[in-house]
Amino acid sequence: MTFLALVRHGQTDWNLARRIQGNTDIPLNDTGRAQAVETASRLVGTSWDAVLTSPLSRARETAQIIAAALGLPEPTSEPDLVERRYGDAEGMDYQELHERFPVGIVVPGRETHREVQLRVHAALIGIARQHPGRSLVVVCHGGVISSLVRHATGGGRPRADERIANGSVHSFSYTGGELRLDEFNGEPVNQPALQAVPEVP
């Protein structure tokens, strides 16, 4: 069995301003670095084998802080763990998004939810298969984690009142070709296993 602790990166200035980041490479702010240190303190005491990360700097720096605290090597970058691409909407706040692109209007260059789901599920299952029997910290993004949680719970989580908070940890396990959500932000979750998502024909 492979264990995967999915961590959302620490805060950035765009998080604070509620601007859509997507693939835009916005660095951590000081609050985000403090959040990474706090997350690392919660992971200390458990045996971890490696830290993997999205290549975007906000995730990579979070991963580096965690790896240093755990006494692990430099994190390995995994390109398919990047945040959802928002295309022309990147840099907008949510009011601007709804004004420029009302419901039903396609945002040029934005990745669909289904595309995100296929990409990140395949990436996480691939990581688990490459590290059988290991315990891994995987630092990525709110949209990536939300996609995995939503599919694993049949849309039941995250609920409308739940956020994938900066620095939060969500635990998955992989065994027998199946991926399962075990904890949502530290809360045990009893959910059916999530199998690999088939590719779109």
The catalytic site residues sit at: 9, 83
Is position 10 annotated in a ligand binding site? yes
Partnered with residue 183 across adjacent β-strands are: 171, 188
Residue 180 known to bind ligand: no
Range list of H helices, 46-139: 57-70, 94-100, 113-130
Q: Is 15 labeled as ligand-binding?
A: yes
Does the annotation list 58 as a binding residue? yes
Calpha distance 40→44 (Å, rounded): 6
Tokens of 102: 């009302």
Q: Is 11 annotated as a binding residue?
A: yes
* 2-8 and 135-140 strand pairing: parallel
12 is an annotated ligand-binding site residue: yes
Length of the chain measured in residues: 201
Annotated binding-site ranges for substrate: 8-15, 58, 83-86
Annotated binding-site ranges: 8-15, 58, 83-86
